[in-house]
């Protein structure tokens, strides 16, 4: 018997690739720009901004994804997901990969119109980024089995037409740098996920769209966008 006034919220989790085990999700950190998009924004290699999604936004990247409410511009962003397995604060770059449990491919789904509206007036991004189901992610591939990939194709297509393609080696900030930098801002915990930013080519999704995406050697997925909710 506990003295909680109701049962604690269920733990969000993701499958572990090739196993019955599940990876319990603590928090989700998301980087801003981490690939060159061919515009001036990356002219200076500034420390990337980060935002968060709640663990409750994490879902398996399979089946049908609900079309969120309150948006006319529902966008895909394919990203490498880093899964933290060991707590750490002020982790050095040299030690950073020791804290990484594994990797996955994920979608940082975004209500772009709400993000633009928030940016325009300096409001937080949560309505654009932190909605239910906004982080579909593939099963996590353990680093103990697959190592720490530094390169590999990352791509996304919609209805068979490719929209995003790059390579992990094009990431502006390496996983070691990202983990180290983030751990100087907050104490990282086992279970934290880091979505590491998306290559160029982000665009809107429509009801019924079929998305295929993945990262070579890490994971691939196919999902379908559900019908648009009645407003
Ligand atoms: Mn993103």
Q: What is the pLDDT of residues 40-88, one digit of tens each?
A: 555 556 677 899 999 999 999 999 999 999 999 999 999 999 999 999 9
What is the Cα–Cα distance from 127 to 133, expressed in whole angstroms? 13
Phi, psi (rounded to 5 degrees) for 97: -65, -20
In angstroms, what is the span from residue 115 Cα to ligand 1's centroid?
12
Q: What is the pLDDT of residue 1?
A: 60
Q: How far is the CA of 77 from the centre of ligand 1 (A)?
A: 6
Q: What percentage of the chain exceeds 70 in pLDDT?
A: 95
Q: How far apart are CA 184 and CA 203, in angstroms?
A: 33
Q: How far is the CA of 34 from the centre of ligand 1 (A)?
A: 9
Give tens-digit pLDDT for 207-223: 999 999 999 999 999 99
pTM of the model: 0.95
Give the three-class secondary structure for 168.
Answer: helix
pLDDT at residue 9 greater than cutoff 90: no
Tell me the C-alpha distance between 89 and 191, whole Å: 14
Longest CA span, the chain: 58
Could you give the CA distance from residue 54 to residue 33 in angstroms, rounded to a whole number? 20
């Amino acid at each position: 018997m506990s003295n909680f006034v109701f049962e604690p919220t269920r733990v969000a989790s993701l499958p572990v690739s090739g196993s019955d085990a599940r990876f319990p999700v603590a928090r989700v950190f998301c980087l801003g720009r981490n690939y060159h998009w061919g515009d001036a924004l990356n002219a200076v290699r500034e420390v990337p901004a980060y935002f968060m999604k709640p663990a409750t936004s994490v879902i398996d990247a399979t089946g049908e994804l609900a079309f969120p409410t309150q948006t006319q511009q529902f966008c895909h962003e394919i990203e490498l997901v880093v899964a933290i397995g060991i707590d750490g604060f002020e982790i050095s770059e040299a030690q950073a990969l020791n804290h990484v449990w594994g990797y996955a491919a994920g979608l940082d789904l975004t209500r772009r119109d709400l993000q633009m509206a928030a940016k325009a007036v300096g409001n937080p991004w949560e309505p654009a980024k932190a909605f239910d189901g906004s982080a579909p992610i593939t099963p996590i591939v353990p680093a103990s089995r697959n190592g720490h990939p530094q390169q590999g194709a990352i791509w996304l297509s919609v209805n068979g037409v490719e929209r995003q393609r790059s390579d992990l080696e094009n990431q502006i900030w390496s996983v070691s740098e990202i983990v180290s930098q983030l751990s100087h801002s907050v104490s990282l915990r086992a279970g934290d996920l880091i979505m590491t930013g998306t290559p160029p080519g982000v665009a809107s999704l429509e009801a019924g769209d079929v998305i295929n995406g993945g990262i070579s050697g890490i994971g691939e997925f196919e999902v379908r966008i559900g019908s648009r909710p009645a407003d």
